[in-house]
Amino acid sequence: MTEQGRNERLLVRDIAHARAGDKGNTSNVNIWVYDPRDFELLKRSVTAERIKREFPQLVRGNVTRYVIEHLHGLNLVMTETLEGGVNASLNLDSHGKSWSYLILGLTLDTDEKR
């Protein structure tokens, strides 16, 4: 895909908001669509398999995705994803507070062929 083509694609941030939290070396990011009509698109775009595939160096463990249907949200739980945890990581953001924007920065799967 060309750089221009990539920029034209919508980001998760265009349809959803998110928050990241940490416990030990596990990070979780919860993601919620603004408009319930976008929930199917979010579910299609943010899968556990994709997260594992997009960030192989960061996400060393497993990704579990919980779906909260009635509130139109997802909760991604990513083990071994904080470079050792808040007291061991040498990342400036040792809590992974910014991981929410890793997810929000992903492109949406808007392919209508599905």
Partner 1 sequence: MAKGNGTFRIGTGAGFSADRLDAAVDLATRGELHAMVLECLGERTVAFAHRDRMADPRRGYNALLEHRMRALLPACRRAGTVIITNMGAANPRAAAERTRDVARALGISALKIACIEGDDVTRLVRPDQPFMDEAGTLADSGRPVVGMNAYLGADAIIPALEAGADVVIGGRLADPSMYLAPLMRYHGWQNSDLPKLGAGTLVGHLMECGMQITGGYFADPGVKDVSNLAACGYPIAEVSADGSAVITKLPGTGGCVNEATVKEQLLYEVHDPASYLTPDVTADFSRVTLNDLGKDRVHVSNAAGRARPEKLKVTVGFDAGVLAEAGVSYAGPAAAARGRLAAEIVETRLKESHGISSPVRVDLIGASSLFATAGIARAHSEDVRLHVALRTTEREQAELVLWEVESLLCCGPAGGGGYRGVITPAVETKSILIDRDLVKPTFEILVS
In the complex, which residues of this chain contact partner 1 (CB under 8 A)?
13, 17-19, 21-26, 28, 30, 32, 34, 54-58, 64, 66, 68, 70-71, 73, 75, 77, 83, 85-88, 90-93, 97-98, 102, 105
Alpha carbons 18 and 42: distance in angstroms, whole number: 12
Nearest to 76, CA basis, from 38, 102, 37: 102
To the nearest whole angstrom, how small is the minimum distance from the Cβ of residue 17 to partner 1? 6
Q: Distances from the Cα of 47 to the Cαs of 2, 41, 85, 90, 106, in angstroms?
A: 24, 11, 24, 28, 11
Q: Which amino acid makes up residue 2?
A: T
Structural contact between residues 78 and 51, judged by C-beta atoms closer than 8 angstroms: yes
To the nearest whole angstrom, how small is the minimum distance from the Cβ of residue 20 to partner 1? 8
Which residue number, 44 or 61, has a Cβ lying nearer to partner 1?
61
To the nearest whole angstrom, how small is the minimum distance from the Cβ of residue 18 to partner 1? 7
To the nearest whole angstrom, how small is the minimum distance from the Cβ of residue 87 to partner 1? 5
Which residue number, 98 or 114, has a Cβ lying nearer to partner 1?
98
Place of tokens 């594992």: 52
Which residue number, 76 or 114, has a Cβ lying nearer to partner 1?
76
